[in-house]
Amino acid sequence: MLIKRPSDIPASEITPRSVYLRRREFLQTAASAGVGAALGGASLLSAPAARAGEPIPDVRPSRFSTDETPTDREDITSYNNFYELGTDKRDPKRNADQLETRPWQVVVEGECEAPGVIGIEDILRDFPQEERIYRLRCVEAWAMVVPWVGFPLADLLTRFKPTSKAKYVAFETLYDPEMLPGQRRSVLDWPYREGLRMDEAMHPLTILATGLYGEILPSQNGAPLRLVVPWKYGFKSIKSIVRIHFTADQPPATWNMMQPSEYGFYANVNPEVDHPRWSQKSHRMIGAGLFARKRPTLKFNGYGEQVASLYDGMNLAEFY
């Protein structure tokens, strides 16, 4: 139902100012880039806003899920790398309530025929959500098994009609030091950026996650929309995405720019290539206990049968 209001009441006094300004910033950015808002702008105002912890309806099981037991929800939501909310593993949960995830829009642009802006509520409505129980391997040699809720990244990308010039897909995280206290320090070159080769982005294992354990994604886990690429180290799975850009050139990636000798652009899980400061041959499982035996790390995190062909002929010690 449309409720009209007197024209002399400014929108900033009706909507919380931080939300109003952020939404305006998204729309201005989209307009300056020549991006149409037909895919998400109008319905975002009327769609009901889901919140972290609320169940996601009609979640389907997926044939791509592992049969391993998921890590406890408390561990998944309280042991996180999300420097935008703090560098300590416990900081993201402590600071999670500072990140406002509604309303939220993603600008999609670059080498595509139908650039646009899409809202998170439209994403939840338009794309069937699946539970994908995936192994997650951090470059720091720890791991989890996470029951993500999400959908194939390819489904979203196809909607914007990438052209033959699009060889890579670049991603960017929200930059807003007011809401993201970690961005008030120069620990990284903000905003956080990542990228995939087009065939990696279109692979059926690559998803955009909107939730976990059947519920809307918590802020500390990258709400409201994060990338999940299960055969790569976790730092590739960029969180709180606000921009997707199709490009002909390999895009910048934050950790690769910071320490290229330690964090490669491809970041495929590979026990044969150690980090310069520690071995990648094994890892500890979060939640298994302090004295639990480490597990051997599998190449491509155990997804080699599905993805190894993407890298035929590549020297994975050089392109790490």
Residue 10, preceding peptide bond in cis (omega within 30° of 0): no
Torsion angle defined by CA atoms of residues 133, 139, 141 and 142, in that order, rounded to the nearest 10 degrees: -40
**Where are any strands of DSSP class E within the chain?**
60-61, 105-110, 116-119, 130-137, 142-152, 168-173, 193-197, 207-212, 215-216, 226-228, 241-247, 282-285, 295-296
**Where are any strands of DSSP class E within 158-313?**
168-173, 193-197, 207-212, 215-216, 226-228, 241-247, 282-285, 295-296
Judged by DSSP in three states, 151 sits in strand
Q: What percent of the chain has pLDDT over 90?
A: 82
Residue 143 contacts residue 137 (beta carbons within 8 Å): yes
Q: What is the pLDDT of residues 233-254, one digit of tens each?
A: 999 999 999 999 999 999 999 9
Judged by DSSP in three states, 173 sits in strand
Residue 303 contacts by C-beta under 8 Å, 6 or more apart in sequence?
135, 205, 230, 231
Distance CA 50, CA 224 (A): 10
State mean pLDDT over 155-166: 98
**pLDDT at residue 48, rounded to an integer:** 56
Residue 103, preceding peptide bond in cis (omega within 30° of 0): yes
Distance CA 295, CA 316 (A): 22
Strand partners, 196: 169
Global pTM reads 0.86
CA 32 to chain centre: 25
State mean pLDDT over 115-126: 98
Label residue 63 exposed, middle or buried (CB < 10 Å: 0-12, 13-18, 19+).
exposed
Kindly indicate the confidence band of residue 52, based on its pLDDT and cuts at 50, 70 and 90: confident
Does the pLDDT at position 65 exceed 70? yes
Distance CA 24, CA 22 (A): 5
Q: What is the pLDDT of residues 283-297, one digit of tens each?
A: 999 999 888 999 999
Distance CA 116, CA 36 (A): 5
Q: What is the pLDDT of residues 162-181, one digit of tens each?
A: 999 999 999 999 999 999 99
Does the pLDDT at position 7 exceed 80? no
Residue 262 contacts residue 274 (beta carbons within 8 Å): no
Q: Positive or negative, the Cα torsion across 18, 84, 263, 65? A: negative
Distance CA 84, CA 187 (A): 9
Kindly indicate the confidence band of residue 100, based on its pLDDT and cuts at 50, 70 and 90: very high
**Six token digits for residue 138:** 């951090």
Q: How does the average pLDDT of the chain come out, rounded?
A: 89
Kindly indicate the confidence band of residue 2, based on its pLDDT and cuts at 50, 70 and 90: very low
State mean pLDDT over 22-30: 45
Amino acid present at 16: P
Q: Give Cα separations from 251 to 21, 45, 107, 221, 270 (angstroms).
A: 28, 33, 16, 24, 22
What does residue 110 show for φ and ψ, rounded to 5 degrees?
Answer: 95, -140
What does residue 194 show for φ and ψ, rounded to 5 degrees?
Answer: -145, 170
Kindly indicate the confidence band of residue 28, based on its pLDDT and cuts at 50, 70 and 90: very low
